[in-house]
Amino acid sequence: MRRNILIFGAGKSTSYLLDYFKEKSESESLHLTIADLYPERIPATIKDHSCCTPLKLDIADAKARSKAIEKSDIVISMLPARLHQAVASDCLIHRKNLVTASYISKEMAAMKEKVKKAGLIFMNEIGLDPGIDHMSAMQIIDKIRDNGGKMLLFESFTGGLVAPESDNNTWNYKFTWNPRNVVLAGQGGAAKFIQEGTYKYIPYHKLFRRTEFMEIPGYGTFEAYANRDSLNYREAYGLHHALTLYRGTMRRVGFSKAWNMFVQLGMTDDSYQIEESETMSYREFTNLFLPYSPTDSVELKLRHYLKIDQDDIMWKKLVELDIFNPEKTVGLKNATPAQMLQKILEDQWTLKEDEKDMIVMYHKFGYELKGKKHQIDSNMVVIGQNRTHTAMAKTVGLPVAIATLLILNNKIITPGVQIPLQKEVYQPILKELESYGVIFKEYEVPYLGYNPDSVAG
């Protein structure tokens, strides 16, 4: 009797997840039901396999959704985060375990008691970030504590970037995940973290000029800007007494300073719509944010506004994006500035079929043991194969798939709405990920604490 895994959503992050289950289908007696609004887009190597059943399904169709969940043995939701709740509610009704890669929402958290009482596992935040970051951090934090150490400092950074061999633009960047999340990064409140026992806040308009630098052996120097709330996981990680807690997003050096130009211009604003946006050229869009002049060109006004010279690398970065093109039109009706900027960037930053992405993760652990201070640096680098089998899809999809099979095989048994912080979860998943090339390298280094000299701006 085959066990039916129901997967909602077959988007960009599912290539490795689907391959994993296909390869395990015989040995683990698995059948996949892949529910998607556009099942014809599922690769033929998956949908034509004997272990797979594509299912055309609109997640808003409550009857069809409920019926599919009722027939399953376990459910995976790879849908946008806002759509998980409907799936979760049906999973509770039909007593089915659920796995997602998304942050625990307030609605999901409110189900904790009911899920636990039902003896169900709703595993969330089991992708890359959140996901692999949690598991790899807790593995070292638990090891430090088990040896009698006291945590003083924890910093964690993740970046979805372009691989060195496909890095062919002056921004050293291409989209490897949802472009909208990139354009809106850092909005919605000040970034908050704790540094040497003092709370620190960085407002959005200053966020991209306050970057920390880190070195990844073999891959060079990176920069990172602060996540919106680095303190979210202080309780979950048991870091109440840590003097420094800082989480951020990694980019190649120079990206943040250049991105700050868009922030200062107002191009990342998503709070209002622009009239006649569908017929507006890229040049007209750029001119929207500049003062009127009867004589000066858009280029001259922009250089003056941003105080950059024509031979400045910042100017080269802007020209490269073709934002002064009078022929290209945005083509989006009632669009916000952020949506229009996203459209322009996608023209330049979309991976070509044979191009590769790169995932980089870096942790810093400071701790005290027997009166002495120590530091461990840990990093992971994963290179993708192509535009379909990306490093992003591997590091998001594989942890979801591995966790699903562990739950199905009763290797993960603790019930409740949870994230992967327990040894029964992270130990087997990290071990299996290593066989797929997702490997962390650890280095014992002199304790430096939080280095304020590494922060720019």
**pLDDT value of residue 176:** 87
pLDDT-derived band of residue 451, with 50, 70 and 90 as boundaries?
low
Residue 450 has pLDDT above 70, yes or no: no
Average pLDDT over residues 10-32: 94
The SS3 assignment for 6 reads: strand
Put simply, whether the predicted model's pTM sits higher than 0.85 gets the answer yes
Tens-digit pLDDT profile for residues 23-52: 999 999 999 999 999 999 898 999 899 999
Domains belonging to the chain, first-starting first, are: 3-123 (3.40.50.720), 132-258+353-391+439-454 (3.30.360.10), 272-349 (no CATH)
134 and 419 Cβ atoms separated by less than 8 Å: yes
Tens-digit pLDDT profile for residues 46-91: 989 999 999 999 999 999 999 999 999 999 999 998 999 999 999 9
Q: Could you tell me what percent of the chain has a pLDDT over 70?
A: 98
**pLDDT value of residue 453:** 43
Residue 165 has pLDDT above 80, yes or no: yes
* Block residue for tokens 């997702």: 438
Tokens of 364: 């810093």
**pLDDT value of residue 448:** 78
- Calculate the average pLDDT of the chain: 95
**pLDDT value of residue 454:** 47
Buried/exposed code over 234-271 (b: 16+ C-beta within 10 A; e: otherwise): beebebeebbbbbbbbbbbebbbbbbbbbbebebbbbe
* Partners of 46 in beta bridges: none
**pLDDT value of residue 11:** 85
Gap between the Cα atoms of 252 and 219, Å rounded:
10
Tens-digit pLDDT profile for residues 372-423: 999 999 999 999 999 999 999 999 999 999 999 999 999 999 999 999 999 9
Contacts 24+ apart (CB under 8 A), 21-25: 21/51, 21/401, 22/46, 22/49, 22/51, 22/52, 24/405, 25/49, 25/51
Instruction: Give me the phi and psi of 147, to 5 degrees please.
Output: -90, 5
Average pLDDT over residues 271-276: 96
Q: What is the DSSP letter of 79?
A: S
Tens-digit pLDDT profile for residues 167-189: 999 999 999 888 999 999 999 88
Gap between the Cα atoms of 75 and 123, Å rounded:
10
* Partners of 329 in beta bridges: 281
* Block residue for tokens 């720019």: 456
Half-sphere exposure of 183 (CA within 13 A, CB side): 20
pLDDT-derived band of residue 1, with 50, 70 and 90 as boundaries?
confident
**pLDDT value of residue 197:** 94
